[in-house]
């Protein structure tokens, strides 16, 4: 079992250098490309060539974070 400093949401290389996430936290997202793909969407960083398939609700979350909403 991973501890809080090395959990999947907090990779070991980041360690404890990140502040805790709270309901009032605002995230700054890197530039993401969003591409419709059937019922899902591909979201990713074209410069890195990394994309993941996500449902439509994830696009609403990304849009809200881009607009400055908190977690």
- Paired tokens of 15: 């360690």
Task: Specify the pLDDT at position 14.
Answer: 55
Instruction: Give the separation between CA 49 and CA 67, rounded to whole angstroms.
Output: 25
pLDDT of residue 27: 86
Nearest-angstrom CA–CA distance, 37 and 9: 26
The pTM for the full model equals 0.66
pLDDT band at 12; cut points 50, 70, 90: low
């Amino acid at each position: 079992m991973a501890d809080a400093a090395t959990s999947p949401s907090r990779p070991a290389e980041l360690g404890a250098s990140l502040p805790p996430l709270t309901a009032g936290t605002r995230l700054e997202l890197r530039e993401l490309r969003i591409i419709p793909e059937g019922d899902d969407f591909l979201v990713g960083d074209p410069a890195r060539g990394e994309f993941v398939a996500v449902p439509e609700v994830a696009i609403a979350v990304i849009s809200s974070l881009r607009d400055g909403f908190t977690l």
